Structure 1
């Protein structure tokens, strides 16, 4: 049994939640959805996987799992955001679309801050760079003070260089 940061649910309920969220990717790989438009099914499945992987990570962090055990779930979260961005780009026909509507949804902005903060707290600047690339490529860099303040210390001198269709981060 882990040493919890706070007691908020029973161990059984905690395990059931983690198992449920972790099963999402497997579930959606073997279950279909009807789509109204081409690409809608892939986009909806990727959204569900992204959402569930983040919920799994947050509940693990809140429950007090050892930091070392959170690295793989955090990697899964970033991979799921990348997969969702790809599926959404295909569905919407917008190559650099952000997987989060930072201007239009307080919930999406909160989600961005949660993932970026967890990358910072777990000292995973490699994952932070990959995650931020998804929103920077869509034009959200230099658009929000909190966004920039959150990233300033972990990604100092973050410059955008467009090269072969990819944005790369450089440090000054």
Structure 2
């Protein structure tokens, strides 16, 4: 009985080695084919465009900002057909725009945190800023027309953007006018 088990172990080892060698041979053949195909293409270069944000009140690359931030260019918004603040959840799932019948009860929530009040005297905990100007009523922003980029900052931003940014900030930067 031990001889039979030794033969089966040896046979299993041979099968395993054979399968491994065939996989290696297939991978080598595929990489050789890929190299031949790559040399026929005229050396494509991939460039990544930098997105400059003003999340810390100065222009910086989005990768250098130590904040939880989502920044989207206006071209991307237009390509995804995002034209209203209610559609911001398409670019950042943590952002919701709650629409209400009264304008004072409408507002943004980030990560489920936001202000739900029917009083006009209560400020929103998610600040809505357009070109550095705080909007008292986020529902007054009807469309996202002529937007250069949108910056969504998650978490407390009160140090730089004031007391009404205690849960986050949505900053809309519009395109600069161009002289023709």
Normalised-by-shorter TM-score class: under 0.3
**Between structures 1 and 2, the one with greater strand share:** 2
Greater C-alpha Rg: 2
**Between structures 1 and 2, the one with greater helix share:** 1
TM-score computed with the length of structure 1 as normaliser: 0.22
